[in-house]
Amino acid sequence: MNTSRSFRSPFAPYLDRFVSLKRAVGLQYNSARNMLLAFDRYIDAHAPETPLRQETLIQYLISLQRLSPRARDNAVGVVWAALAYAHSHGALIESLPERPAPSPQFWRQRQPRIVSATEIGDILAATRDLPPKGSLRPATMATLLGLLYTTGIRIGEALALDVGDFDCRDRILTIRHGKFGKSRALVLRESVADALRCYVENPLRRVRKNAATPIFISGGLRRLSYSTVRHAAHAVYVQAGLTEPYPRLHDYRHTFAVNRVAGWYAEDRDVNALLPALSTYLGHISVENTRLYLTANAVLLEHASVRFSEFTSALDEVLS
* Residue pLDDT, tens place only, 262-304: 899 889 888 888 888 998 899 887 777 787 777 656 666 555 4
Lowest mean pLDDT among 76-80, 212-216, 311-315: 311-315
- Position 102 scores a pLDDT of 66
Cross-strand partners of 19: none
Q: How many domains does the chain have?
A: 3
Asked if 203 and 264 sit in the same domain, the reply is no
**pLDDT at residue 24 is higher than 90:** no
Asked if 284 and 187 sit in the same domain, the reply is no
Last-in-domain residue among 245, 271, 300: 245
Asked if 95 and 149 sit in the same domain, the reply is no
Asked if 130 and 81 sit in the same domain, the reply is no
Is the pLDDT higher at 188 or at 69?
A: 188
Question: For residue 36, is it within any domain?
Answer: yes
- Position 316 scores a pLDDT of 43
Structural domain of 192: 117-245
Asked if 8 and 124 sit in the same domain, the reply is no
Is the pLDDT higher at 22 or at 3?
A: 22
Last-in-domain residue among 245, 274, 306: 245
**Mean pLDDT, the chain, whole residue set:** 86
| C-alpha span between 301 and 307 (Å, rounded) | 10
Give me the CATH number covering residue 150: 1.10.443.10
Asked if 270 and 231 sit in the same domain, the reply is no
Asked if 47 and 146 sit in the same domain, the reply is no
Last-in-domain residue among 214, 245, 276: 245
Asked if 26 and 66 sit in the same domain, the reply is yes
Nearest CA among 121, 150, 114 for reference residue 236: 121
The percent of residues above 90 in pLDDT, for the chain, comes to 60
Question: For residue 161, is it within any domain?
Answer: yes
Question: For residue 219, is it within any domain?
Answer: yes
How far CA 56 is from CA of 39, 49, 118, in Å, comes to: 11, 11, 54
Asked if 223 and 185 sit in the same domain, the reply is yes
**pLDDT at residue 257 is higher than 80:** yes
Cβ burial, residue 167 (10 Å; 0-12/13-18/19+):
middle
| C-alpha span between 148 and 150 (Å, rounded) | 6
What's the whole-number mean pLDDT along residues 30-57?
Answer: 93
Question: For residue 123, is it within any domain?
Answer: yes
What's the whole-number mean pLDDT along residues 177-204?
Answer: 90
Question: For residue 112, is it within any domain?
Answer: no
- Position 89 scores a pLDDT of 93
Question: For residue 205, is it within any domain?
Answer: yes
Asked if 57 and 150 sit in the same domain, the reply is no
Asked if 103 and 123 sit in the same domain, the reply is no
Nearest CA among 70, 85, 92, 2 for reference residue 36: 85
- Position 307 scores a pLDDT of 46
